[in-house]
Amino acid sequence: MIDNQWPSYASSLNVDALDFSINESLVNEIEQFFRNKYHFPVVLFPSARASISTILSAHGIHRGNMVYAPKFSSHCVWDLITRYSNPSISVLDSTVAVISHKWGSVTNLGMNGETMPQLIIEDSVDSFMLDNLSLFPNKGQYEILSLPKILGTLSGGIVICKDEYYYEKLKNERAVLLDLNFSKQQSTLKAQKNILWMDNEYKNRSLSNFELQIIKNKLDDWVKWQDILLERYSKVKYLAEYKLEAFRIPPVIFIQKNIEGLMRRNFDIHQNANHPNYIEGCLFPIHLGIEQDEFEFNLTKIQEN
């Protein structure tokens, strides 16, 4: 079954013709777009997973530390955590908590007097955030957004920072790592010939002008995408049997039904990291990778079920 929980980018690429130099002005323009929107400092990375690994590095996280992520997290999350630390599915014994707010939901840390993790990363993954009103629900230091999962770009992840010191530190670490990985990335991509970047890299690399321009073009149409999503969301939000946040538009609606043709996944219906309750259900996609006809067809099928 096709993984349609997020939009995807597909294109036939002539890798030899791509410009792999780093366009700093375009990076700055993309970062400024999100800074203006959310009113916090923003750092652009090649991917959301690369941004989390850089945060762990900037805070000196090492193999002696436990880092929490929820059950059923993707392989790329576990991959980057295990390269820097020891993974855990318990918040209580963790130095760092990566709290997942996927599919437009908000997961509470769920601590009742227990020792809080020293570092909280709010991984909002795929939420189309309308403004900054629902940022940092657990008073975390960072909020992460994945641009491919929101806009269907080829790459790109942003970190929304609370702290100016660590904002500057992340910018500096990104600059160093981009320089170190530039020549390696260029040769690797030219050898591949078929794709730009679709493996489970956890480190930074070069963001080509091609990738940056895709992001920029999507941001130019942000209002259009927002209007489409809001219109779809208004038709289906009643289907959700869990709490959805007013200022986060999800890419899918989790439904506790078995609908033929729709992906099945597990979801913490308690939305509580310390006391989760996972149930299985279907994902009804409403994101920008779904054509309007398919959206209406799936909605009719769900309503008739």
**Could you tell me if 196 and 269 lie in one domain?**
no
Q: What torsion, rounded to 10 degrees, do the Cα atoms 27, 59, 51, 43 define?
A: -20
**Could you tell me if 55 and 110 lie in one domain?**
yes
**Could you tell me if 102 and 231 lie in one domain?**
no
Q: How far is CA 194 from CA 3, 127, 189, 191, 292, in A?
A: 21, 30, 8, 9, 30
Kindly state whether residue 4 falls inside one of the protein's structural domains. Answer: no
**Could you tell me if 125 and 209 lie in one domain?**
yes
**Domain end call among 220, 238, 262:** 220
**Could you tell me if 244 and 272 lie in one domain?**
yes
The pLDDT value recorded for residue 11 is 57
Ranges in the chain, pLDDT < 70: 1, 9-22, 177-206
pTM, two decimal places: 0.89
Kindly state whether residue 5 falls inside one of the protein's structural domains. Answer: no
Number of domains in the chain: 2
CATH of the domain at 23: 3.40.640.10
The rounded distance, in Å, linking the Cα atoms of 277 and 99 is 15
Kindly state whether residue 172 falls inside one of the protein's structural domains. Answer: yes
The residue among 108, 41, 40, 42 whose CA lies nearest residue 70 is 108
Residue 148's domain comprises 15-220
**Domain end call among 161, 191, 220:** 220
**Could you tell me if 234 and 267 lie in one domain?**
yes
Burial class (CB in 10 A: 0-12, 13-18, 19+), 216: middle
Kindly state whether residue 8 falls inside one of the protein's structural domains. Answer: no
The rounded distance, in Å, linking the Cα atoms of 153 and 216 is 10
**Could you tell me if 181 and 210 lie in one domain?**
yes
The rounded distance, in Å, linking the Cα atoms of 99 and 261 is 29
**Could you tell me if 67 and 109 lie in one domain?**
yes
The pLDDT value recorded for residue 1 is 62
The pLDDT value recorded for residue 187 is 44
- Sign of the Cα torsion 254, 256, 261, 263 reads positive
The residue among 119, 18, 111, 2 whose CA lies nearest residue 62 is 119
**Could you tell me if 25 and 158 lie in one domain?**
yes
The per-residue pLDDT for range 18-72, each reduced to its tens digit, is 565 668 899 999 999 999 999 999 999 988 988 999 999 999 999 999 999 999 9
